[in-house]
Structure 1
Amino acid sequence: MIGIREIQDAAGRIAGHVVRTPTVPSTGLSALLGVPVTAKLELLQRTGSFKARGATAKLLSLSEAERAAGVVAVSGGNHGIALAVMAAALHVKATVVMPRSAPARAVEIAEAAGASVRLTDDMPGAFSLVTRLQQEGLTLVHPFDDPVVIAGQGTVGLEFAEDAGELTDVLVSIGGGGLIAGVAAALRARRPDVRLWGVETEGAQAMSEALAAGGPVPVELSSIVSTLSAPSVSRLTYDHVSALVTEVLVVPDREAVRGSLDLADHAKVWTEPAAGCLLPAARQVLQRVGDGARLGLVVCGGNATTGEMIAWAARFGLR
C-alpha cells in the first residue's frame, strides 16, 4: 500500500516540474447540486490532466542507463500525452503505444512533443506491443500499475487535503485506478473521515467488476470515454480501492457527456467526459448521504476537442 511518506516524497521530487493546480469553491456547481462543492482543477495541469504528475515522478526515478535506453507507455490518450511532453522536458526518449480509438488530438500532441507513437487495433494489442518493447530494453512507465506513478498521482490528494475547506465526500474518476489509489491514500492519511467515491462509465467498468469478482479481471470495453477504458485494473490499484474507497459508482456515457456540458455551463471549465461523469455520480452520492454533504470533485482532465464534444452531444441528443 502506498503511504503518505511516499506521496510527500513524490511531491518534493516533482515540484517545479508540474503545477499546483487550483482548489476552488464553485458557486455554479453548488447551486446546481444544492450543496457546497469544491473542485480540484487538475485539467489545468501541464498536458491537460493529472497524468503529468505520475509520469514525472517515474521519469525522475530512472537510472542513467534507463534514461539512455528510453521509456515506453501504453495509453488511451492522457497518459501518452503526459509521458511524451514530460519526457521531452527531461530529455528522455519516449515511445507511446495507443489504440486506434485514442483521440486523434492525443496522437498529434504526443508526436509533436517528439515521441514515437505506435498505433494498435485495440487496447489489449497495445499492452502486448508494450511487452515486446520492454523486452527490447525500454523501461515501462505504466499508467497505473506502478507505486511510483501512484505516489505521483497521490499528490493531487495531498494538495486537495491541504487546500480545500471542509469536505464530507470526494469523487474521483477511475480508469485503471492510479489516480483514485493515490488520492485515497493521501486523503485517508490527512482527512480520515472523508468518504471516497470512485466513478466509472458503462463499458469501462474495470474496477467495479474487479470488486464484484474479488480481484482484477479482464473486461469488455465499449465506453466512448477512452481515457477511462483500461482492459483491467491491477492488483495494486484494486487493493487500494477495496480498502480505502466507500463505493465505485457507474454512470452511462450519455450522462458523462451531459456532465461535461454542465461543467462548462455552471463551473466555467472545459472538461472531458472522464471528468464529466463526476456530476451524475455526485447526484447519486447526495441521494445516499442526505443533508449536510460538502462535496469535493477531482476534475481530472480537459483534453476533449470541441469537435468531439459536439459529436457526442449530437449522438446522445443533448443540447
Structure 2
Amino acid sequence: MIGIPEIDAAAERIAPHILRTPTVSSPGLSALLGVPVTAKLELLQRTGSFKARGATAKLLSLGRAERDAGVAAVSGGNHGIAVAVMAAALQVKATVVMPRSAPARSLAEVEAAGAVVRLVDDMEAAFATVPRLREEGLTLVHPFDDPVVIAGQGTVGTELAQDAGDVTDVLVSVGGGGLVSGVAAALHTLRPGVRVWGVETAGAEAMSAALKAGGPVPVPLSSVVTTLSAPAVSRLTYDHVSALVHDVLVVPDAEAVRGCLELAEHGRLWAEPAAGCLLPAARRVVERAGPGARIALVVCGGNATAADVASWTERFGLR
C-alpha cells in the first residue's frame, strides 16, 4: 500500500516539472448542488490532466540504461499525452500504443511531442501489446499498475488536503484506479475523516466490477469516455480502493457529457467527460450524505475539443 512517505518523495522529485494546481471554492457549482463545492483544477495541469504527475514520477525513477532504451505507454488519451510530452522534456524516447477510438486531438498531441504512435483496434488490444513492448526492451510506464505512478498521482491528494477547506466528501474519477488510489492514500492519513468516492462511466466499470467480484476481472468496454476505459483494474489499485474508498458510483455517458456542459456553464470550467461524470455522482453523494455535505471534486482533465463536446451533445440529445 502506498503511504505518505512515498507520496512526499514523489512530490519532491516531480516539483520542478509539474504545476501545483489551484484548489478553489466554486460559487456556481455550490449553487447548482446546494452544498459548498471545492474544485481541484487538474485540468490546468501540464499536458491538460493529472497524468503528468505519475508519468513524470516514473520517468524520473528510471536508470540510465532504461532511459537510453526508451519507454512505452498504453493509453486512451491523457496518459499517452503525458508520457509523450514529459519524456520529450526529459530527453527519453517514447512509444505510445493507442486505440483507433482515441480522440484525434490526443493522437495529434502525442505525435507532436515526438513519440512513436502505434494504433490498434481497441483498448483491450492496446493492453495486449504490453508483453511485446517489454520484449523490445522498452520500459512500460503503466497508467495505473505501478506504485511509483500511484505515488505521483497521490500528490493531488496531498495538495488537496493542504489547500481545501473543511470538506467531507471527495469525488475522483476512476479508469484503472491510479488517481483514486493515490488520492485516497493521501487523504486516509492527512484527512482521515473524509470520505473518498470513485466515479466510473457505464461501459467502463472495471473497478466496480472488481469490487463485486472480490478482485480484478476483465470487463467489456463501450463507454465514449476512452480516458476511463481500462479493460481491468490491477490488484494494486483494487487493494487500495477496496480498503480506502467509500464507494464507487457509475453514471451513464449521457450524464457525464451533461456534466461537462454544467461544469462549463456553472463552474466556468472546460472539462472532458472523465471529469464531467463527477457532477451527476456528486448529486447522489449529497442525497446520501445529507445537506451537511461539503464536496470536493478532482477535475481530472480538460482535453476535449469544442467539436468533441458538440458531437457528444448531439449524440445524446442534450441541449
User: Given the two structures, how large is their TM-score scaled by the length of structure 2?
Assistant: 0.99
Match of 2:60 in 1: 60
Match of 1:78 in 2: 78
| Offset at residue 129 of structure 1 (A) | 1.8
Match of 2:108 in 1: 108
For 1:128 and 1:262, locate their aligned partners in 2 and report how far apart those are by CA, in whole Å: 36
CA contact (8 A) 1:71 1:94 kept: yes
- 1:178-213 deviations in Å (ceiling 9; x for gaps): 000000000001000001100000000000000000
Match of 1:191 in 2: 191
SS of the residue 2:297 aligns to: strand
SS of the residue 2:167 aligns to: coil
CA contact (8 A) 1:51 1:79 kept: yes
For 2:22 and 2:5, locate their aligned partners in 1 and report how far apart those are by CA, in whole Å: 23
Aligned positions of 1:1-319 closer than 5 A: 1-319=1-319
CA RMSD across the alignment: 0.5
User: Percent of counterpart pairs with the same letter?
Assistant: 76
SS of the residue 1:96 aligns to: strand
For 2:86 and 2:140, locate their aligned partners in 1 and report how far apart those are by CA, in whole Å: 15
For 2:303 and 2:291, locate their aligned partners in 1 and report how far apart those are by CA, in whole Å: 34
For 1:206 and 1:281, locate their aligned partners in 2 and report how far apart those are by CA, in whole Å: 17
Unaligned stretches of 5+ in structure 1?
none
- 1:196-248 deviations in Å (ceiling 9; x for gaps): 10000000000000000000000000000000000000000000000000000
For 2:142 and 2:241, locate their aligned partners in 1 and report how far apart those are by CA, in whole Å: 18
CA contact (8 A) 1:72 1:133 kept: yes
- 1:273-319 deviations in Å (ceiling 9; x for gaps): 00000000000001111121100000000001110100000111111
| Offset at residue 161 of structure 1 (A) | 0.2
CA contact (8 A) 1:43 1:49 kept: yes
Unaligned stretches of 5+ in structure 2?
none
For 2:30 and 2:52, locate their aligned partners in 1 and report how far apart those are by CA, in whole Å: 29
For 2:292 and 2:216, locate their aligned partners in 1 and report how far apart those are by CA, in whole Å: 35
For 1:71, give the aligned amino acid. V
| Offset at residue 124 of structure 1 (A) | 1.6
- 1:14-36 deviations in Å (ceiling 9; x for gaps): 00100000000000000000000
For 2:229 and 2:15, locate their aligned partners in 1 and report how far apart those are by CA, in whole Å: 29
| Offset at residue 130 of structure 1 (A) | 2.7
For 1:128 and 1:287, locate their aligned partners in 2 and report how far apart those are by CA, in whole Å: 40
SS of the residue 2:129 aligns to: helix
For 1:222, give the aligned amino acid. S
For 2:201 and 2:118, locate their aligned partners in 1 and report how far apart those are by CA, in whole Å: 26
Q: Deviation above 4 Å: which 4+ runs of structure 1?
A: none
Greater CA drift, 78-87 or 286-295: 286-295
User: Given the two structures, how large is their TM-score scaled by the length of structure 1?
Assistant: 0.99
